[in-house]
């Protein structure tokens, strides 16, 4: 049980000005595993004031000094890997062996990457009679989600600090405990007071107070498209920079030249992408686009993969490949989409909306596959954020590209083909921020972000750092 009764503001743990707390529920046991303060707009005012006061001195530090601070944060994260993994497994439901690598390991790696990336920034450049300089944008409000909670925090905090910005963080109220561990790490390394501040609370209160605050120079938000549009709306009157990483409905195109083992591997890898973190992944390949004449053959492979590999079980014990969803509300939402798929005429291949009989406790949803899906169906158009895969047939490559791009979103996607150059040519035609070609692995140094309603701006690597910089021209 982790019960936090204070916010981290101006280098100190201080009581919230509010009197309420928010319980954090273990996704597998449905029991309270911790609590955090239910913060207020007044807490945000204090945090922003501290960040604004700390900004001039932090912005004036050398990149080398900022790099050393980030290295210390990365080392602190690595030292508490097991604790972080266990905490996030409880909060989110990802199996512990995956949490160790992804939920706890990836944030440490991302933080470490910015130690050297600082040196790649062209802080000054001469263009004719002008000296063009890069400067930190100022106070950054970071509002982060629950599905990869610590990774999304570090993907904002590390580059912001590297750029010379100060930060006010609001973690998701559903999975906030890992953020408090990060604050403990930052407090322990002696980062100057006010450079990093943590205010827990709800989006409508704390999140909107950050977005609207006139002394916040930039808001970086990750979450649903609905919530992101609200953040942009609230931030608009102050004309601050807004970076949004939002939802996705990614298509995985299986090309018609794949045969035998290559086809088998492509399909099985696509299932894995859809079901990572029980489908609670914004980049999940939730639409598998397959040649119409190979549809039934591919569905058989999908069924075998799901029923033989993607078992449900206690995530803390590593008992299954899939854990529960984050909450009862999310479970209800996903089950509703499954029921909608059946109502609209998609073929239910495996899974379903019924609760798994052997797991009466925990927010579990059966891994579900629909075949014969038309891209106009609700399950093909809306982000479900659960373990639900739609197999959609196409007639030819042009039809596949049309279906893939026929979406409000554009965050990620995949293309698999026997001819690598042909696969890359198809990938170039997809209107999405990232595309995996023949299973290319996630690269934390590559830019991450979306087209269309999947957002704007980029995270990770040097592109993520540049988001937190302003450009000034000095005419000499």
Catalytic residues, by residue number, are: 245, 282
Tell how strand 251-254 and strand 241-245 pair up.
Answer: unpaired
Return the structure tokens found at 413.
């996607």
Do 96 and 428 touch, CB atoms closer than 8 A?
no
Find the helix or strand (DSSP H, E) in which 183 lies.
Answer: helix 177-189
Virtual torsion, Cα 323, 328, 329, 332, nearest 10 deg: 80
81-92 vs 149-163: helix axis angle to the nearest 10? Answer: 130
Residue-wise DSSP of 69-117? HHHHHHHHHHHTHHHHHHHHHHHH---HHHIIIIIIIHHHHHHHHHHHH
Return the structure tokens found at 264.
């088998």
Do 136 and 195 touch, CB atoms closer than 8 A?
no
Backbone angles phi and psi of 137, in degrees to 5? -70, -25
End-to-end CA distance of the chain: 60
Tell how strand 368-371 and strand 347-350 pair up.
Answer: antiparallel
Q: How many CA atoms within 13 Å lie on the side-chain side of 292?
A: 8
- C-alpha–C-alpha distance, residues 10 and 43, integer Å: 11
Return the structure tokens found at 74.
């990365």
Find the helix or strand (DSSP H, E) in which 472 lies.
Answer: strand 469-475
CA 424 vs CA 130, 186, 380, 458: distances in Å: 40, 42, 24, 22
- C-alpha–C-alpha distance, residues 225 and 268, integer Å: 29
- C-alpha–C-alpha distance, residues 317 and 159, integer Å: 34
SS3 of residue 221 by DSSP: strand
Return the structure tokens found at 194.
């006010």
| Bridge partners (DSSP) listed for residue 132 | 125, 473
Do 349 and 302 touch, CB atoms closer than 8 A?
yes
| Bridge partners (DSSP) listed for residue 286 | none
Residue-wise DSSP of 114-136? HHHHGGGS--EEEETTEEEEEEE
Nearest C-alpha neighbor of 185 from the set 104, 276, 118? 104
């Amino acid at each position: 049980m982790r019960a936090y009764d204070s916010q981290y503001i101006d280098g100190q743990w201080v009581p919230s000005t509010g009197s309420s707390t928010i319980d954090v529920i273990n996704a597998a046991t449905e029991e309270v595993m911790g609590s955090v303060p239910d913060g207020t707009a007044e807490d945000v005012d204090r945090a922003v004031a501290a960040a604004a006061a700390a900004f001039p001195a932090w912005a004036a530090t050398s990149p080398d000094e900022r790099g050393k601070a980030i290295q210390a944060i990365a080392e602190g994260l690595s030292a508490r890997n097991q604790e972080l993994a266990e905490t996030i497994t409880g909060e989110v439901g990802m199996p512990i062996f995956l949490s160790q690598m992804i939920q706890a390991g990836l944030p440490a790696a991302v933080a470490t990457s910015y130690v050297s990336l600082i040196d790649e920034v062209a802080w000054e450049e001469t263009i004719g009679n002008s000296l063009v300089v890069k400067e930190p944008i100022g106070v950054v409000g970071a509002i982060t989600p629950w599905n990869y909670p610590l990774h999304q925090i570090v993907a904002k905090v590390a580059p912001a600090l590297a750029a010379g910005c100060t930060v006010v963080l609001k973690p998701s109220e559903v999975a906030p405990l890992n953020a408090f561990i990060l604050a403990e790490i930052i407090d322990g390394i002696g980062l100057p007071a006010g450079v990093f501040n943590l205010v827990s609370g709800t989006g409508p209160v704390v999140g909107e107070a950050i977005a609207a605050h006139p002394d916040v120079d930039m808001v970086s938000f990750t979450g649903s498209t609905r919530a992101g549009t609200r953040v942009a709306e609230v931030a608009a009157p102050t004309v601050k920079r807004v970076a949004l990483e939002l939802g996705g409905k990614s298509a995985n195109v299986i090309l018609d030249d794949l045969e035998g083992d290559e086809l088998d591997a492509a399909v099985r890898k696509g299932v894995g992408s859809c079901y990572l973190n029980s489908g609670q992944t914004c980049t999940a390949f939730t639409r598998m686009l397959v040649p119409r004449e190979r549809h039934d053959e591919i569905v058989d492979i999908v069924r075998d993969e799901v029923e033989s590999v993607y078992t449900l079980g206690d995530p803390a014990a590593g008992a299954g490949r899939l854990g529960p969803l984050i909450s009862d509300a999310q479970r209800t939402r996903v089950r509703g989409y499954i029921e909608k798929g059946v109502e609209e005429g998609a073929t239910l291949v495996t899974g379903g909306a019924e609760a798994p009989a052997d797991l009466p406790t925990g927010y579990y949803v059966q891994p579900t596959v629909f075949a014969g899906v038309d891209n106009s169906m609700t399950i093909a158009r809306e982000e479900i954020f659960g373990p639900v895969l739609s197999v959609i047939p196409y007639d030819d490559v042009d039809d596949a590209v049309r279906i893939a791009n026929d979406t409000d979103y554009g965050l990620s996607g995949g293309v698999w083909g026997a001819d690598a150059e042909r696969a890359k040519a198809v990938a170039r035609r997809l209107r999405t921020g990232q595309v995996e070609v023949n299973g290319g692995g996630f690269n934390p140094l590559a830019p991450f972000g979306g087209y269309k309603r999947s957002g704007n701006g980029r995270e990770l690597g040097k592109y993520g750092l540049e988001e937190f910089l302003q450009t000034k021209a000095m005419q000499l």
